[in-house]
Structures are given as C-alpha cells and as structure tokens.
Structure 1
C-alpha cells in the first residue's frame, strides 16, 4: 500500500518535506500545498520554492492546483510543466470559507454540471499530462455523491483521492465509509483513501472495513505530523514512536528555516504549530506544550524541548 503525505498549508511545505526525507522513510508521494492561478502577477517566492526541482530533489512531488476555471488550470499547468512536472492534482477538498465562497475547492462540488464541463475542457485539450483529483463526497448532503460519481467515472484520472466527509463536516464528524465503498464499486480508476489515519491501528481497522484492490494507497496529513515515523510503522507493520528522532527532525527544521532567513519569530511560529499537532491533547506533555507556546525566542523554546528528554 502506497503512502502519500497530504498537503497542509503552512505545515507540510517545502522545508518540512526536505527535512522529512532526510530523517524518515515510507512516504511514496508528496503534494505541494495548493497553488492558485495568477492572472497578472507571477509565482510567489514560496510557490517557486514549492516547485523548485533542485530544492525538492529526492521527492516524488505532485503540484496541487486550486481553481474552477479550465482555462486557468491549463495555463498554470503549462507554466509548471516548464519547470519539469508532468503530473498534477486538482483540489476539490478544501473546506475553507475563503475558498468555497469563490466556488473553489469543495465549493466546486455544489455544481456537478460545471464540474463536468471543467474536466471535459481539461482532458480535451491536455493529453500529455497525468491528472489526479482530491475530493470530498459532497458539499452539504450525502445525496450529492451519486451525481459526483457519474462525473468522475467519465474521465481518465490517474487516481482519485477521496476524503469521505462533506464540506459541511470540515474535519469533524465521522467519516462516511458507505460513500467510499460506493466509489470502490463504481470507479475503474485507482483510489486513494484520506481521513482520520493517525496510527497503525487506524490503518489496520480501515483495511478490515474496506478491502478492494482499487484502493492502492492512503493519504495522511495530521497523522504524519503528529508522528513522523507513522509511514515507517505502516510499511513495517510495527507501531513506532521515537521522541528523540522527532526532536532531531525538528531541530533540523529550525536550521533550515534560519538558513533561508525566515527569522527567529517566524521559525518559532512554525514550530509551535507543529508541536501543537505532535503533543495535541496528550495530558502527559501539556505542561511542556504550554512552555513551548509561551516561548518568546529559540533559546527559551529549546529549554522547553529539553524537558521532553
């Protein structure tokens, strides 16, 4: 089973990915945080780093595009192709209000006829690239999934990544496995599962509920941040957590951000966000997490981290 690292804006970015592959193994594909078409301005500095082949060497990296315009997708794909990419992922999963209010991300799922036209134009004009899609199962009603299935099965996607929640669920409420099972019965394309994978037990529980040869992999976001060794655990079928390796990984993230002139304040902000996911609501480390979040500089931060040893 293949393992993909989900794109998480501001977290699993180019710095995180570069340092991750230095310390850990097991992830087969990485995805950039979504890139939106730019009508007048060029790529931002961070987008250029996300797409920089030299900086991202050693990764199977897929650019993810967020748009509801086939014309804009084709133009942006042409520009990114020139950087050496031939595989793209379309984001139809983002639930953010600022995204969905513009009919993008999971907001695009509300109009399956427009979505059908979007795909038709792309596949009609762009036959020299590989395209996958990351989707939710609807915007606000499970009944929407039937119409979306009819759209997706028409097109030659490399794979379809499914997060079996509605946009209205955001990242709460239970995943809807019946909708995922329906996709397995419908699609000829390879299917990737995404949602609530935090431990090896979660993976094994999923396998007992859904076993289909079309499910070729899983995409993990927060679970890989929470435990960076999770991909190795899944591949070896042996639960592994190592706080020492995790700290060494984050120490290198500090060095990488500082070498890129992010500054101490911005680097510390990134670290606090990551540690919030790693420790989360684990009461054993609540006191240390509080110290990390109160850190005003890297020296104070490192003092707090040393307590984890």
Structure 2
C-alpha cells in the first residue's frame, strides 16, 4: 500500500452513478430536484436584488441575509447542475480537478452558511437585548469584517480536504456511488490510509459546527430570557416573530445535515439510494426554503416583492 508522501496516483476522471438502483427513474426524480433548484436560484436572486436596490434595507440584518442568499446560490449550484446533467444526459464522468473543485465548494460554503447563521443569531441578540447599541455594535464596517472572517474561515478549513485528496493515491475503481463528489465517498476509493483525513474531518466538524451551534443556541436562550420579561404582549410577539424565521432555517439546515451525516456514516441499514436522495436534498431544500421563509416572514422584503409584482402586472 502506498503512503501519502509517495507520488500520488489518481484517475483523470471519476464516474458518478447518480442514485444507485434507481437509474431508470432518474428522469422522473430530476423533475422535483430541478424545480427546487429553479426556486432556489429565483428566490435568492430576488432577495439579493431587493436588498441591493432598496436603500432602506441597507442594515446589518439584511446584509447578513444577503450573505445567506449568496451562500445558498453557490452551495446549490456546486451540486445541482452536474447532478441534473447526469439525470438528463447520462453525463456520469467528472474530471478529477472538477471533483476536487466541487468538493471544495461544498465544504467551504457549508461552513460559511453555518457561520452566517451564527452571525444572524448574534445580530438578533444585539437587536433585542441591546437595541440602543445595535447600530454601534453592528455597524456596516463590523458586518463586513464578520463576513470576511466567515469567508476566510470556510476557505482555510476546506483547503486541507482538497490537499489530502490530491496527495492520496487511488485504486483502479473510479465509480462513486453518489451524484456528486462527497469527500467520504471519494476517499473510499483511495488505496492509502486515510486516517489523517478522517481525524481532521471529524475534528473540524466537531469544533466548527459545535462552536457555531453552541453560541447560536446561547444567543437564543438569552433572547428568550429578555423577551419573556417584556410587559407588552405585542412587543413579546413581535420579537418572537422576528426570530422565528431564523430559527426555522437553522433547524432545517442542521437537521438535514446531521441526518445525512449519520446515515452516511452509521446508517448501513439504510438503502444506498435513500442515502443519496437525502444527501441531494441537503443541498436543495435549505437553499430553496430560506428565501421563501424570509420573503413571507420579513415585512420589508415581502412588501417590496408585492410592490414590484403589482407594478409589473399593471403595465
């Protein structure tokens, strides 16, 4: 068995299988997946356009929402086009370099999305618990720095995954039993000891996601403590309504990601096609659901959407 330090040997391309056992139904399965991707692109572009064009929305909360929408666009686009090409045109081959690039974007923007959720939780905490200091604590320059830190963190965490993959040697088997280049599925084809990658992946996931989830939860615990001290029922309901949309998108993102991780790692009793479908939904459902939730729950964005729709229809 070759070592990681020896000259790496990898195939020029891998073969994606799509959804194993359901190849004959690929065209039908692709229809809801394509619909979700169209809604994702359309919905997030609307959110970005409205926030960009309406100067009244140039505030920290909406800057963070813009980061989330942009992240969702990249994350879903990293997986969906190739997946749909596979389903529609049987385009199963993916070049090694493209596989590494796809893997980088999947990991990088998953961590970025987690970081954006934490920043949005902190924004809600400051807005509700320290409303008079909100514009000082979370000024525009501070939001820009937070965004840069989240981006840099995602990039630096994800680079080692790609480095390990490039340095590993692979066996003659080039078939990936998924519709995209997931790190765990690709490294199953390696002919070397992947312990270092396994340890790094587990450590990073535990520390980064654990950190984000812990402080997001703490933010909302503090928010709830303050909200239930409000004497006015209307103020209490308004504050809870403001946070409910954020809590919904966080739960969808983390529950799907956790379920996918557990089924892929420990769910050997689950059919492989079920695991693949759930993994695909992890990159389609949250990016599709996020703009819908924020358009429905955020009055300023909802009113802008209705205004533009009514204006265009009256022409």
TM-score by length of 2: 0.23
Structure with larger Rg: 2
TM-score by length of 1: 0.23
Q: Which has the higher contact order (CA 8 A, sep 6+)?
A: 2
- If each structure's strand is expressed as a fraction of its own residues, which one has the higher value? 1
